[in-house]
Amino acid sequence: EVQLVESGGGLVKPGGSLRLSCAPSGFVFSSYSFNWVRQAPGKGLEWVSLISTYSVYIKYADPLKGRFTISRDDAKNSLYLQMNNLRAEDTAVYYCVRGGYCTTSNCYSSPWSSFDIWGQGTMVTVSA
C-alpha cells in the first residue's frame, strides 16, 4: 500500500525547535519530489516547502525561509522538516505530501506536479 507516515510533532514553547520526519512505503522514495503542507486548526491548506529528487530544487514559502529547512535522505527513505524559532502561528497539522500523479499504467513526479499522496499528518502546537 502506498502511504506516508509523519512523526515528530508535539507541544513546543515559542522559540523552540522540532524536527518532523516522514516515512514512505509502497513506492520508490527516491523517484519522487515531496512537499510539506500545513493546516492550522479549522483553517485552509498552506504549502510550506518542496524538495525535488536529488535535492536539486528546494523551495519554501517566503515567510518561512530561514526558519524551516527541508531535507531528504534517500538511503534512509526519509523526508524531514527542521523547524526553528517556532511561533504560535506555526501551530498546525503538518502533512508530508508526494508530488506526482499516476495514470493507469505509470506514475510520474516533478517539482511541477500536483500532490497525489498525503500522510495523515502530525500536529505541532506552539504554546507557552
Partner 1 sequence: EIVMTQSPSTLSVSPGERATLSCRASQSVSSNLAWYQQKPGQPPRLLIYAASTRATGFPARFSATGSGTEFTLTISSLQSEDFAVYYCQQYNNWPRTFGQGTKLEGK
By the rule CB under 8 A, 85 interacts with partner 1 = no
- Give the CA radius of gyration of the chain: 14
By the rule CB under 8 A, 61 interacts with partner 1 = yes
The residue behind cell 501551530 is 91
Report residue 60: phi and psi, to 5°: -135, 150
By the rule CB under 8 A, 114 interacts with partner 1 = yes
Of 15 and 28, the one with the shorter C-beta distance to partner 1 is: 28
What gap in Å lies between CA 96 and CA 32, rounded to an integer?
12
By the rule CB under 8 A, 41 interacts with partner 1 = no
Other beta carbons less than 10 A from residue 14's beta carbon:
13
Of 120 and 127, the one with the shorter C-beta distance to partner 1 is: 120
By the rule CB under 8 A, 23 interacts with partner 1 = no
Of 56 and 104, the one with the shorter C-beta distance to partner 1 is: 104
What gap in Å lies between CA 99 and CA 51, rounded to an integer?
9
Positions touching partner 1 (CB under 8 A) are 35, 44-47, 50, 59-62, 95, 101-102, 104, 112-121
